[in-house]
């Protein structure tokens, strides 16, 4: 089902970008990571002077059956309430997207509540009303997981048709740090306690209970760590599946993906597990407060661009990282070379 062609990075474009960086009016490598980002962009976009003006964040919203086990400090109703907040433009991600000049696309891929079909601004792609309780059995069927991935791919295609240079991933789903912790524990083989955090603010007893539930779910469902789709079905989430689809479809179109925090990086682990070359098109936006995020980034070999103690989700960290990535692009494209500026490079 999932077999897109991911183009290789364009080595020639990257080499041209690197050569231009060496000739810009500055000491070599004096702009650090900004230089490296611009070279990566050139290879991703097959353009020695890459432009990333057209930006968007895609937010997948879904509920989780495992939330019934009390693994979150917030009730499940908050998922649908926050979707409405996104649509009104009142959430943190909306504010940051406006600042970055980025579009916001909100997708109901699995919220328990039903929304008015005529509600403007919401894409209705509900695969099911949340996942099943993974502490009692598999979170979803293989068909549901594949459908959710396909939704993400389709949404990315729709957004890309309007023009897209850079996409960020965002999530909304009460309880979704639980499946994300399960995913990283299964795929890396690390103990659940080492990759499970407090999510929305659990106390010590709540955290211990959350760890127990994840261990129970893994022991019961026995997901295969070598089979990303099996992991997704057994202990994943619909928004995680949808975001994996977004990443796969973006990579197939040479559109760089700015991966947000813990939930989005769980989706990246699934996407790379399904289609390994997707990794070449990923930027990690930030280092989340969630302890499992470090293990995810190490596994994927990604270096986060920011470290601001963020743990909100929604795509907030990824949208903040837009500014750095666009700065890197502009430096490469707009800064004068020594020859253009009449400045001696000796």
> Considering Cα of 61, then 316, then 152, then 1, what sign does the dihedral take?
negative
Whether the Cβ atoms of residue 278 and residue 271 lie closer than 8 Å to each other: yes
d(Cα 131, Cα 301) in Å, to the nearest integer? 30
Residues 6+ apart with CB under 8 A from 302: 259, 265, 268, 282, 283, 284
Residues 6+ apart with CB under 8 A from 271: 243, 244, 245, 247, 248, 278
d(Cα 37, Cα 43) in Å, to the nearest integer? 10
Instruction: Report DSSP state, residue 24.
Output: B
Which H, E and C letters describe 290-304, residue by residue?
CCHHHHHHHHHCCCC
Six-digit token string for 187 = 């795929």
Whether 36 is catalytic: no
Catalytic residue among 314, 326, 334, 340: 314
Phi, psi of 92 (to 5 degrees): -55, -40
Q: What is the largest CA-CA distance in the chain?
A: 70
Whether the Cβ atoms of residue 213 and residue 296 lie closer than 8 Å to each other: no
Whether the Cβ atoms of residue 25 and residue 299 lie closer than 8 Å to each other: no
Whether the Cβ atoms of residue 231 and residue 218 lie closer than 8 Å to each other: no
Six-digit token string for 296 = 């995810």
Whether the Cβ atoms of residue 169 and residue 258 lie closer than 8 Å to each other: yes
Which among 342, 343, 321 has a CA at the least distance from the CA of 41? Answer: 321
Catalytic residue positions? Answer: 314
């Amino acid at each position: 089902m999932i077999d897109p062609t991911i183009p290789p990075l364009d080595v020639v474009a990257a080499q041209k970008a690197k050569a231009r960086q060496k000739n810009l009016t500055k000491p070599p490598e004096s702009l650090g990571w900004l230089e490296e980002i611009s070279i990566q962009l050139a290879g991703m976009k097959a353009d020695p002077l890459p432009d990333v003006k057209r930006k968007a964040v895609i937010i997948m919203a879904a509920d989780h059956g495992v939330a019934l086990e009390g693994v979150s400090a917030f009730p499940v109703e908050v998922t649908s309430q926050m979707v409405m907040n996104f649509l009104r433009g009142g959430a943190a991600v909306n504010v940051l997207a406006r600042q970055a000049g980025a579009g916001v696309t909100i997708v109901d891929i699995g919220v328990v509540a039903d929304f008015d079909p005529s509600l403007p601004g919401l894409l209705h792609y509900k695969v099911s009303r949340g996942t099943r309780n993974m502490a009692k059995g598999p979170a979803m069927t293989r068909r549901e997981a594949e459908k959710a991935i396909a939704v993400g791919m389709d949404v990315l295609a729709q957004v890309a048709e309007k023009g897209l240079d850079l996409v960020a991933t965002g999530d909304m789903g009460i309880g979704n740090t639980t499946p994300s912790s399960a995913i990283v524990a299964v795929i890396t083989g690390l103990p659940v306690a080492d990759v499970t955090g407090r999510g929305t603010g659990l106390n010590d007893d709540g955290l211990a209970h959350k760890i127990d539930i994840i261990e129970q779910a893994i022991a019961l469902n026995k997901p295969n760590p070598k089979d990303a789709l099996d992991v997704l079905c057994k202990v994943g989430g619909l928004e995680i599946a949808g975001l994996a689809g977004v990443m796969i479809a973006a990579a197939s179109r040479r559109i760089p993906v700015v991966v947000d925090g813990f939930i989005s990086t769980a989706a990246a682990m699934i996407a790379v597990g399904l289609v390994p070359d997707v990794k070449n098109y990923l930027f990690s936006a930030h280092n989340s407060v969630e302890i499992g995020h470090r293990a995810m980034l190490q596994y994927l070999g990604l270096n986060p661009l920011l470290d601001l103690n963020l743990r909100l989700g929604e795509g907030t960290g990824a949208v903040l990282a837009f500014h750095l990535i666009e700065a890197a692009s502009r430096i490469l494209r707009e800064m004068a070379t020594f020859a253009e500026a009449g400045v001696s490079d000796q």
